[in-house]
Structure 1
Amino acid sequence: MESEERVIILITTTLIIVLFVIFIVLLFGFFQKRKNLLLQQQEEAKKRFEREISETQIEIREETLRNISWELHDNIGQLLTLAKIQLQSASAGSLKDVSETITKGLTEVRALSKLINPEAIKNINLKDAIQLEIDRFNRLNFISSSLNILGEEQKIDEKSSIIIFRILQEFFSNTIKHSKASNLEVLLDFKDKELLIEAKDDGIGFSTSENKSTGIGLGNIKNRAKLIGASAVFISEKNKGTILKIVYKL
């Protein structure tokens, strides 16, 4: 009787050990599969992010080239035409005016050279890039623009700067093309752990309840903000302008 009990205990113990080992193996396999899936997802997310950065840099470059084209035609071209007219009717007393026109033209060319430089796009400094856009808007009389900085400026990740600048560039483009605004204001507010960015115009605005993410790229802007762990919120009412608020963790 005792022998049978021992056999039963032995078999039961062996069965429990075998089941336990099988359970551990299955559990290990499950977690290993989850780990591999997570690593794969992380790798895919990294590739998507790098692809988005490349596409964003291309978009910035294309927008920059369009800007240069407009400025060459609308600003520098007019200055050179004016200088030509002044030279044709120049006298000793009017040479000063000719000189001032040519000097202004050279200043505009130097400003354009900053936009043409590919390193300015690759190694973008957010504040300087925004200031170049603001200066261009004012120079071409597109819209009265200003940039204000609050707090102590902190270093921003290069790739995040590219994404943020492209988001603002899209907002600027929508403002100039569609909003019929007279003023554009941009604020960079540096806090201890985050950067608050606010861009606002005094244009015709839109109803956020009626306007979906399509149409003026609101969905695209919000998705790009998520890529860098930021949030983008639009506040707008018809005939009361539009505000874009971005919160980026430093």
Structure 2
Amino acid sequence: MESEESQIILYISTIIIVFIIISIILLFAVFQKRKNKLLLKQKATKKRFEREIIETQIEIREETLRNISWELHDNIGQLLTLAKIQLQNATPENIKDVSQTISKGLNEVRALSKLINPEAIKNIELEEAIQLEIDRFNRLNFIDSSLTIKGKEQQIDKKVSIVIFRILQEFFSNTIKHSKASKLDVVLKYTEKEMIVSAQDNGIGFLASEEKGKGIGLDNISNRAKLIGAEAVFTSEKNKGTTLLIHYKL
């Protein structure tokens, strides 16, 4: 009788042990599958991020070269033409005007030279990149622009800076092309936990329902912000301007 009970206990114990082993194997298999899936997802996300960075760099370079081409043709070309006309009609009284025109042209060329080198575009810091855009808007009388820095500057990953700058470039472009604004204010604020970028114009604004028709690309800006773990928030009212806020956790 005791022998039979011992055999039953042994049998049940064996079944329990086998069940536990099988459960552990299954759990390990599920864990490994999820781990592999997560690794593949992380790899795909990293690959998408790197691809987006490359595409963003190309877009920035193309936008910059378009601006350089425009300035060479329309702005500097006009200054040189004006200087030529002034020289043809130069007198002792107006020779100072000729000198001023040539000096202005040289200043324009120096400003452009900072952006002609592809490495300069690639390695430029976020604050300097924004300031160059602001200076260009003011120099060409596109719009009255300003950049304000608040707080202690923090080191930002170069790839993050590239994406943020491209987002701002899109906002600037839309402000100049669509908003009919006369003023653009950009604020870069650093706190211990985050960097907040604010860009605000005083233009005609828009309604959310009108955004798709005007090509302002809010979805594109929002998706790019998410790519670097940031949040981009738009606020706009008819005839009260538009504001873009970017929150990036340090």
TM-score, length-scaled by structure 1:
0.96
Deviation at 1:97, TM superposition (A): 2.1
Q: CA deviation at 1:67?
A: 0.7
The CA distance in 2 between the partners of 1:115 and 1:213, in whole Å, is 33
**Kindly tell me: are residues 214 and 7 of structure 1, through their superposed partners in 2, closer, same or farther at Cα, counting changes over 3 Å?**
farther
Please tell me the root mean square deviation across aligned C-alpha atoms, in Å.
Answer: 1.4
| Structure 1 range deviating more: 108-117 or 87-96 | 87-96
Using the alignment, how far apart are the partners of 1:87 and 1:214 within structure 2? Answer: 46
Q: Measure the CA separation in 1 of the matches of 2:97 and 2:25.
A: 87
Correspondence list, 1:104-143, <5 A: 104-143=104-143
SS class of match (2:208): coil
Superposed, 1:37-56 pairs within 5 Å as: 37-56=37-56
Cα deviation per residue 1:49-90 (whole Å; 9 max; x = unaligned)? 000000000100111111112211221111101110111111
Deviation, 1:113, is 0.8
Q: Which amino acid aligns with 1:9?
A: I
Secondary structure at 1:90 match in 2 = coil
Q: Distance in 2 between matches of 1:214 and 1:180?
A: 13
Secondary structure, aligned partner of 1:148: strand
Residue 92 of structure 1 and its aligned partner are, at CA, apart by 3.2
What SS does structure 2 have at the residue aligned with 1:185?
Answer: strand
Runs of 4+ aligned residues of structure 1 deviating over 3 Å after TM superposition are 209-214
Partners of 1:162 and 1:199 in 2: how far apart?
16
Report how far residue 235 of structure 1 moved. 0.5
Q: Answer whether contact 1:124 1:161 (CA < 8 A) is retained.
A: no
Partners of 1:91 and 1:246 lie apart in 2 by 55
TM-score (norm. length: structure 2): 0.96
> Which segment drifts farther, 128-137 or 150-159?
150-159
Are positions 1:34 and 2:34 aligned together? yes
1:21-55 Cα offsets, whole Å, 9 max, x none, are 00000101110111111111111000000000000
5+ residue gaps, structure 2, are none
The whole-number CA distance in structure 2 between the counterparts of 1:135 and 1:94 is 29
